[in-house]
Amino acid sequence: MVALLACFAFAGVDHLRGTSPVFDEPYFLHSGVTNLTAGAPKQATANLVLAQNWMALPMLLQRPRTEPSPEPPGSVAPRLDPATRFLFDPANDWRWILRAGRGMILLVGIALGILVWRWSRELFGPAGALLSLGLYCFSPTMVANSSLATVDLFTAFWFSLAMRSGWRLYGRVTPGNIITCGISAGLLAATKFSSILLLPMALGLALARTAMREPVELSWPGGGTRSASSPGQRARLLALASVAALVVSLLTLWACYAPQLTWFRAAEGAQLSQQDLARAYTGSLAGPLDWLERMSLLPAPYLHDVRVFLTTTTVRRAYLAGEYSLGGWWHFFPVVWFLKAPVPLLLALGGAVLGLGWRRPNRPSAARSVGTGEAGQRPAPARRDLLPWLVLIAVYLAASMASGLNIGIRHLLPLFPPLFVLAGAAVLLPVAARGRRIAVACLVLWSARELATVPGQYLSYCNPLAGGSREGHRWFVDSSYEWGQDLPALEQWLERRRAGGPRPPIHFSYFGNADLRRFQLDGAILLPQFFETRPPAIRELGPGTYVISATMLRTVYGPLFGPWRPSYEELYQELRGLFRAALEAGARAGSRLEVSPEDWSRLQVFDHLRFARLCARLREREPDGRVTNGLLVYELSPAELAAALDGPSPVLAPTDAVLGSKSYPQEALDFLK
């Protein structure tokens, strides 16, 4: 166990040290630091406080600057959001801040690995525990998300602990089990809004326990132990236990938000004032949220976070295997999980299904600890012991498939621990002890080999069924594949490139929100980005080396969304004349070009249309190289560039190529705004 966790920690440290901030990290770190130092969030994140505060704890030792430093006189500062300005402030050591926050999440990842090992050992013995932990420690998805300062791994930890403690409570009602379950649920509720899924999960477990013939025990100090034998008695006892755990969870939630209460009530004129809060959300849940606040049933800062979350989940873009959607697909998460799960995990889960089907509960099983042979065989676990994991998987997967938030496998992380635990059931197959040991060792070593195929690029891992990690961008992008983490790799690539002598200029399109001034990018010419940080300019594109992030290549984000369509081509041709006229006028003037605000806005649109047209052409061919799996390199000659920008249109997709567009108001679909 120790050796496997050491490998996991080593890979995590390698990842957290060698990658740039991914998209969400500046927001979480900024919010956490201001929560702890000022008692007030300066950055709305549409997430809750617990994970953010946890990852910001090391900042109390160094107290980074939270107010932006003034820019040097005469400099042109890019338009950066407050969180990015905080992280990359010259007064702050952004590498230390990032690594410290990521290190706190890595500790949670190690703790979650220990829990996976322990729970699998209880169910399937030492051999099953070794298999479960090996699959966990060498999972690229778990390593990547355990070494990022985001909330998703933290959420997975508390989901697993809450379900485990809840099942123990429903088997034996004691003060200790009530407190453990309530605190776990409360900490999950202070981490992410998906904690609401605990309610149907708890209901499912309670109904299952009520339907069982086994009694539920009640053990109270001074009251001895009693048994609830009939279904009615079990239902009443479990209802009382659930209410008690709910009270504990609410008290835990209030405790997590206690540092913000004083500031929040006195926030007249502040960024998150009560007046702003009242206007933040006006949807169907506004009335119930206002009532909860008036009755003081939930903390006002928590309800503010709920409103912020609801205002950010209206229209979300999604990409899957060449298709674009505004409402998502029910099959998005199953497909992404299947293509990113290492083959050893798929085989182990298949073996687990066969093993659990072959072994009846309490029937002798071959899942005996290593070295015991066939004598004294271990019985298979009772099916009731698998219920918390099966209910967690069923409810969370159903909710994920119903969600339109199809942007990253990280949203599926709470499913991973129960899947790793259940994979340990593969040792229940009727195989001799020697064969079982060999099979477990082969699966674990195979998993280690899969991790080694993407050193430092664990987020982009895809299994051979997807064509391998290099081809994963054809299936999905964003936080399932490329999330802005590859700037250090780009720096090293540019350094090696410079050593080879003079080369064509670099053009770079970046998906992320880092301050590019803090990286040695060799004077790269910046192409359109998701967050525009480029100084205003009218520029002709020239031949050279184009480095384009996979997410930007697919035109998922930015002013345009989706494939190249007739409306885009028509507007592009219309604005080309304005662009040429502006270039000629600038050449004649010999100084800064003066254009009307309306024409300037149209030139900005042309800039993004031109880039989207270029990307549509580049998607039709293979890249000439790669910086990483997520940063694609194209060498464009003058003729090829002219063909892409001035030649015949790329293949035109149908006008209604964006799925789900008919379900949204037209103003939400105007991607050129």
Give the angle subtended at the CA of 229 by the CAs of 227 and 235, to the nearest 5°. 95
Same domain, 249 and 286: no
Confidence of residue 277 (pLDDT cuts 50, 70, 90): very low
Same domain, 182 and 213: yes
Q: Tell me the angle at which helices 416-423 and 94-137 cross, rounded to the nearest 10 degrees.
A: 30
Per-residue pLDDT, averaged over 436-457, amounts to 94
- Residue after which a domain boundary falls, among 396, 429, 452: 452
Same domain, 345 and 491: no
Q: Is the pLDDT of residue 533 over 70?
A: yes
pTM over 0.95: no
In a domain, 126, yes or no: no
Neighbours of 219 (CB within 10 A): 15
- 11-22 pLDDT, tens digit each: 999 999 999 999
Same domain, 512 and 656: yes
User: What pLDDT is recorded for position 665?
Assistant: 60
More confident residue, 430 or 395: 395
Type of residue at 414: P
In a domain, 59, yes or no: no
Type of residue at 109: G
User: What pLDDT is recorded for position 284?
Assistant: 76
Same domain, 399 and 257: no
Q: Which residues pair with 318 in a beta bridge?
A: 325
- Residue after which a domain boundary falls, among 252, 280, 314: 314
Domain count, the chain: 4
Q: Which domain holds residue 372?
A: 327-452
- As a whole-number percent, the residues of the chain with pLDDT over 90 amount to 59
Q: Which residues pair with 625 in a beta bridge?
A: 633
User: What pLDDT is recorded for position 278?
Assistant: 44
Neighbours of 122 (CB within 10 A): 14
- 554-573 pLDDT, tens digit each: 999 888 888 999 989 999 99
- As a whole-number percent, the residues of the chain with pLDDT over 70 amount to 88
**Mean pLDDT score of the chain:** 86
Which residue in the block uniquely carries the two structure tokens 């932990």? 133
More confident residue, 38 or 517: 517
Burial degree of 489 (CB within 10 A; 0-12, 13-18, 19+): buried
The SS3 of residue 173 is strand
Identify the weakest region by mean pLDDT among 275-284, 425-434, 485-494, 526-535: 275-284
Q: Is the pLDDT of residue 139 over 90?
A: yes
Confidence of residue 115 (pLDDT cuts 50, 70, 90): very high
Identify the weakest region by mean pLDDT among 65-79, 106-120, 319-333: 65-79
In a domain, 67, yes or no: no
- 643-667 pLDDT, tens digit each: 999 999 998 888 888 887 776 665 5
Same domain, 631 and 546: yes
Per-residue pLDDT, averaged over 241-270, amounts to 79
Identify the weakest region by mean pLDDT among 148-152, 215-219, 631-635: 215-219
Same domain, 432 and 542: no
In a domain, 563, yes or no: yes
In a domain, 200, yes or no: yes
Confidence of residue 274 (pLDDT cuts 50, 70, 90): very low
User: What pLDDT is recorded for position 291?
Assistant: 84
In a domain, 474, yes or no: no
Q: Is the pLDDT of residue 98 over 70?
A: yes
Type of residue at 1: M
CB-side exposure of 181: number of CA atoms within 13 Å? 27
Confidence of residue 376 (pLDDT cuts 50, 70, 90): very low
Per-residue pLDDT, averaged over 539-557, amounts to 93
In a domain, 379, yes or no: yes
DSSP code string of 462-516:
--GGGT-GGGGGGT--GGGT-SS--HHHHHHHHHHHHHT---PPEEEE--S---G
Q: Is the pLDDT of residue 270 over 60?
A: no
Same domain, 244 and 278: no
Neighbours of 651 (CB within 10 A): 11
Secondary structure (H, E, C), 239-268: HHHHHHHHHHHHHHHHHHHHHHHHHHHCCC
Report how far residue 421's alpha carbon sits from residue 215's, in angstroms, rounded to the nearest whole number.
26
User: What pLDDT is recorded for position 587?
Assistant: 64
CA distances from 157 to 50, 86, 102, 405, 423 (A): 13, 28, 15, 21, 18
Same domain, 580 and 537: yes
Same domain, 168 and 262: yes
- 144-200 pLDDT, tens digit each: 999 999 999 999 999 999 999 999 999 999 999 999 999 999 999 999 999 999 999
Same domain, 284 and 260: no
- Residue after which a domain boundary falls, among 429, 452, 475: 452
User: What pLDDT is recorded for position 131?
Assistant: 97
More confident residue, 213 or 163: 163
Per-residue pLDDT, averaged over 107-120, amounts to 96
In a domain, 61, yes or no: no
Same domain, 203 and 301: no
Looking at mean pLDDT, say which of 262-266, 288-292, 435-439 comes out highest. Answer: 435-439
Instruction: List the one residue out of 450, 490, 523 whose CA is nearest residue 18.
Output: 490
